[in-house]
Chain A
Amino acid sequence: GAVVSQHPSRVICKSGTSVKIECRSLDFQATTMFWYRQFPKQSLMLMATSNEGSKATYEQGVEKDKFLINHASLTLSTLTVTSAHPEDSSFYICSASTAFPGGYTFGSGTRLTVV
């Protein structure tokens, strides 16, 4: 079945540095990928929709200069958290749309801790 690989699974970085998270579709092409953020014991909040070859669409309240999304190929989308601060610490999950309707496949998530 469709597999989405997300890397790294855990990352710790210092305040002020940038962190890149990768999301790859392993055995299918994903023209659209989604990035979510999940706070402890809370639901997933959609941050942005990533479209291959075009600019990402950000949800209201999400800073696009803070969370840079690049979807340069049909199998790779990246999320870069720029100038990270402790409040950016969270669990980030990507997903890709495969064969609708049941084909939203999720990555295993990245636990980001900013110290």
Chain B
Amino acid sequence: GEDVEQSLFLSVREGDSSVINCTYTDSSSTYLYWYKQEPGAGLQLLTYIFSNMDMKQDQRLTVLLNKKDKHLSLRIADTQTGDSAIYFCADFNTDKLIFGTGTRLQVFP
């Protein structure tokens, strides 16, 4: 079945950029999403990208999509301590979201 993979952990210094990567297997994806989850909380939609787009920018967030390689990335510019959380990419497959394994982002001073 559909598989979505992410690296488990990323540590960055405050003020630097963070890049979280995601790979997926579904060749018929229409939309791909990035969600943020803080401890003990639900998921907050950060951004999404349509599959015919290469890039989408929204303030500090930049999403890059390489459809040929089935690779998605989320860049967070000027990372702050408040950005520390788990980030999930998700692939919209037919009628449901398939989530990646999640990347825990830790921001240190």
Q: Which residues of A contact B (CB under 8 A)?
A: 4, 6, 34, 36, 41-44, 46, 49, 91, 93, 95, 101-102, 104-109, 111
Rounded to whole Å, the gap between the CB of B96 and the closest CB of chain A is 6
A109 near B45 with CB under 8 A, answer no
A106 near B40 with CB under 8 A, answer no
Which stretch from B12-20, B64-72, B76-84, B99-107 is at the chain A interface?
B99-107
Chain A: which residue is nearest B48 at the CB level?
Answer: A102
Q: Are A101 and B92 CB-contacts (below 8 A) given A6-B42, A43-B102, A109-B41?
A: yes
Interface centre among A4, A36, A102, A105 (most CB of B within 10 A): A102
9 cross-chain CB contacts under 8 A: A36-B99, A43-B88, A43-B102, A44-B43, A102-B31, A102-B45, A102-B48, A104-B45, A105-B45
Q: Which of B31, B42, B95, B99 makes the CB contact (< 8 A) with A49?
A: B95
A36 to B98 CA separation, bound complex (whole angstroms):
11
A4 to B92 CA separation, bound complex (whole angstroms):
20
Rounded to whole Å, the gap between the CB of A66 and the closest CB of chain B is 20
Contact count band on B: 20 to 34
B97 near A104 with CB under 8 A, answer yes
A105 to B48 CA separation, bound complex (whole angstroms):
13
User: Residue B33 at the A interface, CB < 8 A?
Assistant: yes
User: Could you say which residues of chain A place their CB within 8 Å of the CB of B50?
Assistant: 101
User: Could you say which residues of chain B place their CB within 8 Å of the CB of A102?
Assistant: 31, 33, 45, 48
A109 near B96 with CB under 8 A, answer no
User: Could you say which residues of chain B place their CB within 8 Å of the CB of A101?
Assistant: 30-31, 48, 50, 92
User: Could you say which residues of chain B place their CB within 8 Å of the CB of A49?
Assistant: 95-96
B42 near A93 with CB under 8 A, answer yes
Q: Are A109 and B42 CB-contacts (below 8 A) given A42-B101, A43-B100, A43-B101?
A: yes
> 16 extra interchain contacts, Cβ-Cβ under 8 A, other than A6-B42, A46-B99, A106-B35?
A41-B104, A43-B99, A43-B101, A46-B96, A46-B98, A49-B95, A49-B96, A93-B42, A95-B43, A101-B31, A106-B43, A106-B45, A108-B42, A109-B40, A109-B42, A111-B40
